Amino acid sequence: MFMSGICLQSDISPLSFIGYCSCFLNDSDDTIELAAGLNFIYEVQLSKVLTIEKWNMPIKMKVEGNPSKEDINILNHIIKDFNKVNGFPDMGIVNEDENVLLIYVPKADLSKVQKEYNLGEIDKGICQSFSENGEIQRAIIVIESDVDQDYKNSVVLHEIFHMIGFYGHSYDNASVLNQIEKPVPKLSTIDTLAFRMLYNPEIMVGMNYHELNIYYQDKEITNFCA
């Protein structure tokens, strides 16, 4: 079992747009190399759990609480874009038999929900994921609902990126998982690269950093930018 949590605080100006790069080659920084993706995977996953963890089963997300219409919109965008990644198991919204519960909760009710689900302190958002033998089995995400919509959009993306196996935070300020708590509206080039490298079907749960390194040594970056 693995848990991850805590996120984004407030003092930053709201974001003006939301969008996701599913093909980062279009606006590519062509100096980027696979090593940057490897570093990111190490930083936000393997430094914590030692061997590769990811979802292998379909991700069935149930939404509860008081999401706004825009919340559902954004969620659908995220799902659509994540589902484009080769090897990523199908993610969708369900009404029952969920393995991910996503709850939008007003600030006044956060402590109640925190106790009910035995979560850590919630500041704007939290994600706790549970895995077995490297396979992520289920997760719970709580989002504070009564904050600025643009800000909330970046928190949801941040928490869902935790949910798919990127448990930690990054020193890269462009990452949606940056640790200076800056809201980022879309996956960065390196976020996207690491996402594709982790969910590459040839990368198996249980592989360690050394094995990952060897695997990617003779690979071309263009194969991970489809």
Interaction site with Zn ion (CB under 5 A): 7
Ranked by CB distance to Zn ion, the top (closest) residue is: 7
Q: What single-letter amino acid sits at 18?
A: I
Structure tokens at 181: 């708590």
Rounded distance between C-alpha atoms, residue 1 and residue 140, angstroms: 13
User: Across the beta sheet with 91-93, what order do the strands follow?
Assistant: 91-93, 59-65, 100-105, 135-144, 125-132
DSSP 25: T
Q: How far is the CB of 3 from Zn ion (least distance, A)?
A: 12
Please state the closest distance from residue 201 (CB atom) to Zn ion, in A. 27
Residue recorded with tokens 């879309």: 186
Please state, in angstroms and rounded to a whole number, the distance separating the CA atoms of residues 160 and 127.
8
| Distance in Å, CB of 50 to Zn ion, minimum | 20
85 vs 157 by CB, closer to Zn ion: 157
Nearest distance, CB of residue 110 and Zn ion, angstroms? 16
Nearer Cβ to Zn ion, position 34 or 198? Answer: 198
CA distance 199 to 224: 10
Give CA–CA dist 92/75, Å, rounded.
10
Taking the complex as a whole, the smallest distance from the CB of residue 203 to Zn ion amounts, in Å, to 23
Which residue lies nearer to Zn ion by CB, 7 or 197? 7
Q: Token match 């062509």: residue? A: 30
Residue number with CB closer to Zn ion (7 or 113): 7
7 or 74, CB closer to Zn ion?
7
